[in-house]
Structure 1
């Protein structure tokens, strides 16, 4: 990259970072280019020159965010962790994600952006599902995951828990029990009756 390209990349990154920060506290539809311009300390013309429209900027911010989350997930799942640690990570990784972008914001961004929704579904199927299948098969081979549980059932159960993970986090903050999260993990592995 030459000097001009480096400066352009830095300015684009500054704009995207400012937009991501705004998405943590603003509804996407209420954000205006003028607000982004002020937060990023660049002109509105600069934003239009680099991104073309607010929608294209939001799409690029969401794509970057999604790819960063996916990369972190891939690195963790390929790491040297136990099945229990990986399952805890799958269930509770949303805690960090919610501090950045809530599901409501992500859903609002995706409602009218079918191309972005398609991109996310494609990447999920291409990158996450194969990792999960390998993880489940490895867990079954090591005896840490029951051979009675099919891949489809395991994935469905994990997805249910992840979809409701924000409710678990909210409950954990309200309940006067420091072991609440650990007990939820125990329920996941052993149910109400304990180890079989």
Structure 2
């Protein structure tokens, strides 16, 4: 990468970081290009030159966060944490996503935006599924995941939950307590209703 490309990438990263900061304060539809430009200390024209539109910028920021979350999960799996540590890390990561992107925006990106949905599906099939299978197998080897349930059954359950994302996002939005809802869902997945940990 030459000097011009490095400067351009640094400006784009500054814009993406600024958008993430603004999204923690306001809904995506209320974030304006003028607000982004003012907070980042750059011109609106620069933003349009790099991203084309507010919608394209928001899509790129969202997809970038999904890729980073996948990278983080990959790093967690590589460290071979205990099941409890992994659950805590997953909960923190989910919380960060939903603090930045409200459920309605996630629904729009994942379910309604065909380009975004295709990218996420490819990421899920090529990176996330192999990571989850590895995580399950390593958990079984350490005795933290029961051998009574096959890896295939666990993956089928995860696929079922993935396919039910739209109703889950509705419930998350209606819950009024994102942290508790996500914590409950993760607890149910790992420990069931018996509460055995």
Give TM class, smaller chain.
0.7 to 0.9
Q: Aligned with 2:42: secondary structure? A: coil
Offset at residue 70 of structure 1 (A): 0.8
- CA distance in structure 2 between the aligned counterparts of 1:138 and 1:3, rounded to whole angstroms: 44
- CA distance in structure 2 between the aligned counterparts of 1:96 and 1:190, rounded to whole angstroms: 24
1:9-158 matches, within 5 Å, as: 9-155=9-155, 156=157
Offset at residue 187 of structure 1 (A): 9.5
Distance 1:110 1:150, change over 3 A: same
Q: What is aligned with 1:169?
A: 179
Distance 1:51 1:190, change over 3 A: closer
- CA distance in structure 1 between the aligned counterparts of 2:6 and 2:195, rounded to whole angstroms: 59
- CA distance in structure 2 between the aligned counterparts of 1:68 and 1:82, rounded to whole angstroms: 22
Q: What is aligned with 2:3?
A: 3
Offset at residue 78 of structure 1 (A): 1.5
- CA distance in structure 2 between the aligned counterparts of 1:32 and 1:139, rounded to whole angstroms: 45
- CA distance in structure 1 between the aligned counterparts of 2:110 and 2:39, rounded to whole angstroms: 24
Distance 1:52 1:194, change over 3 A: closer
Structure 2: 5+ residue stretches without partners: none
Offset at residue 194 of structure 1 (A): 4.8
Distance 1:114 1:147, change over 3 A: same
- CA distance in structure 2 between the aligned counterparts of 1:24 and 1:145, rounded to whole angstroms: 36
Contact 1:16-1:61 at 8 Å conserved across structures = yes
How many positions carry a matched residue from both structures? 185
Q: What is aligned with 1:177?
A: none
Deviation track 1:44-89 (CA, whole Å, cap 9, x = no partner) reads: 1111111122222112111211111110111001113123432443
- CA distance in structure 1 between the aligned counterparts of 2:85 and 2:187, rounded to whole angstroms: 10
- CA distance in structure 2 between the aligned counterparts of 1:122 and 1:187, rounded to whole angstroms: 24
Contact 2:18-2:40 at 8 Å conserved across structures = yes
RMSD, aligned CA: 3.4
